[in-house]
Amino acid sequence: MACFTAPLAEALLATAIKSVPSADAHRNPFVRRIGRLQKLLFGGSFLLAVEHVWHGEITWKYPFLTAVADGNTSEMLREIATSGVAMAVLVTAVWAVSVFISEAAERRRAASLEA
């Protein structure tokens, strides 16, 4: 129903974090690569929203979410809290692992160039 709102909220939070200038940003690999996380979260949220429009769960008229119009707000909030948060956490975990792997590969490449 509205599970895409949790990853969308995290994407907006990542955008806010990215916009704050930091002197240590060039040393922190997660801050340097937060753009990847933004793309993953915004892209996933967009595709989920399109899927919900396709299945008629989101309409073009107020209140936009059919669960709210039908009085299923508690069910919608439960779905956001379970499915939406789980998707956001999974995407963030995959991103963190990819940052870790790319940093390890860069350190290995730098070490081989020094030798």
Tens of pLDDT along the chain (115 residues) come to: 789 999 999 999 999 988 888 777 788 899 889 999 999 999 999 999 999 999 999 988 888 888 888 888 999 999 999 999 999 999 999 999 999 999 999 999 999 988 6
| Joined tokens for residue 102 | 């790319």
pTM greater than 0.95: no
Q: What is the pLDDT of residue 22?
A: 77
What CA–CA distance (Å, rounded) separates 34 from 39? 9
- Tokens found for residue 35: 């753009």
Pair 16, 97: CB distance under 8 Å: no
Query: Given this model, what pLDDT does residue 104 score?
Result: 95
Number of structural domains, the chain? 1
What's at 2, amino acid-wise?
A: A
* Distance (Å, whole) CA 98 – CA 104: 10
CA 87 vs CA 32, 35, 42, 48, 104: distances in Å: 23, 18, 12, 11, 26
| Residue numbers of the domain that contains 17 | 5-114
